[in-house]
Structure 1
Amino acid sequence: MSATTTSVTLEEFLKLPETKPASEYINGEIIPKPMPKGRHSRLQGKLCAVVNELTENQKIAYAFPELRCSFGERSIVPDVAVFVWERIPFTVDNEIPDNFDLPPDWTIEILSPEQKPNKVIGNILYCLKYGSRLGWFLDPDDLSILVFLPEQQPVLLQGDDFLPVLSEIELAVTVNQVFGWLKMGS
């Protein structure tokens, strides 16, 4: 995974066709995200399903997988972007728009083996700088989750530690429970 040095602006980047997997625009560079593999895909899908099961019908929040969020001078694609309902920029027909020009309330990143941790953590910190209220950085190899809250030091949680979630979401989940979702074959 290497960055493409370009002289394109954010506006020019956003006019380019989408790629699979997605590319992000960070500090003037186009950086491809790695293709999700098994553990990454399972955790991403399960996190979205659990949050949406608790929040969608009551119109509390919604968790989007791989949603492009463009704000400030970046266009990023968090593994999971959770928006509280009133911040979702619905169209006049109450449909989901194609473009989200704002940071998620809660950004979740799952480290893939090909990724550089600091680049991924940098996206979480960028989201917090622009208004996100919570960030999770999951490391499936380490079975740990680094939690980011605005204006606070990150906290490394493991084992039976309960994870903070947005105050609007009634979810009590531990680090072990999150990584327990990887066990499907027993």
Structure 2
Amino acid sequence: MKSITLTIPPRINVFSDDELYAFCLANPELHIERDETGHIIIMPPTGLESSFINGELFGEVRNWNRQKKLGRTSESNGGYTLPDTSMRAPDVGWVSKERLMQVLPEELKKFAHVCPDFVIEVRSESDNLNELKAKMEKWLQNGVRLGWLVDPQTQTTTVYHPEREPNSQPFSETLSGEDVLVGFTINIQEVLQY
């Protein structure tokens, strides 16, 4: 099953940020995002295997952040309102204290206007790879400094940087958080083995 895009009729226009938040609250069983044109995207739940992978990767980033205390870590339910007006929720997101200082505390209770510094998107069984690649490019255009597209089907992670071509690495290679998640390294193959 692939994601569904809803088009809001012109007379209704586009949901405001508050209307989008209310729509999400009214439909808690749905995973909802909004693209930069105002289209509402509804994604099916992932299979358990994808959820396990998301959880492990979130845990690794969260544990690093607990030690470093350099920002905050979000999982797939945390929505960010981006500069292009889209609202997206990465499988794993990390936002620095510097960026968070620009956000009012009450804004964090909704879909705050802030772009994460780092994101991970995990390709689930129902995801279209080309749509995920386009989503990664949108993350970069909105201010993400480092992104990883983790693809269990090909056992590769594609690393995204602003103004550089994406670079794919096999799961067996150790990845670095570079100058974004300073001191963070992960070998996805080791993390996902049981």
Q: TM-score range by the shorter chain?
A: 0.7 to 0.9
- The aligned residue for residue 6 of structure 2 is 4
Q: Which amino acid is 2:7 matched to? A: T
Give the secondary-structure state (helix, strand or coil) at the position aligned to 1:3.
strand
Deviation at 1:62, TM superposition (A): 2.5
Residues 74/15 of structure 1: CA separation in 2 closer, same or farther (3 Å cut): same
Q: Which moved more, 1:141-150 or 1:155-164?
A: 155-164
- The aligned residue for residue 102 of structure 1 is 114
Aligned length: 179
Deviation at 1:112, TM superposition (A): 1.0
- The aligned residue for residue 63 of structure 1 is 73
Q: Which amino acid is 2:189 matched to? A: F
What CA RMSD, in Å, does the superposition of the two structures yield over aligned residues?
2.2
Q: Which amino acid is 2:14 matched to? A: T
Does structure 1 retain, via aligned residues, the 8 Å contact 2:157–2:171?
A: no
Distance in 2 of aligned mates of 1:106 and 1:122:
16
- The aligned residue for residue 136 of structure 2 is 124
2:29 to 20, 27, 32: 20
Give the secondary-structure state (helix, strand or coil) at the position aligned to 1:82.
strand
2:105 to 72, 91, 96: 91
Does structure 1 retain, via aligned residues, the 8 Å contact 2:118–2:147?
A: yes
Query: Once the two structures are aligned, what percentage of the paired residues are identical?
Result: 21
Give the secondary-structure state (helix, strand or coil) at the position aligned to 2:137.
helix
Does structure 2 retain, via aligned residues, the 8 Å contact 1:5–1:29?
A: yes
Distance in 2 of aligned mates of 1:83 and 1:113:
27
- Greater helix content: 2
TM-score for the superposition, normalised by structure 1: 0.84
Distance in 2 of aligned mates of 1:179 and 1:6:
42
Residues 103/17 of structure 1: CA separation in 2 closer, same or farther (3 Å cut): same
Give the secondary-structure state (helix, strand or coil) at the position aligned to 1:173.
strand
TM-score for the superposition, normalised by structure 2: 0.81
For structure 2, list consecutive stretches of 5 or more residues without a partner in the other structure.
none
For structure 1, list consecutive stretches of 5 or more residues without a partner in the other structure.
none
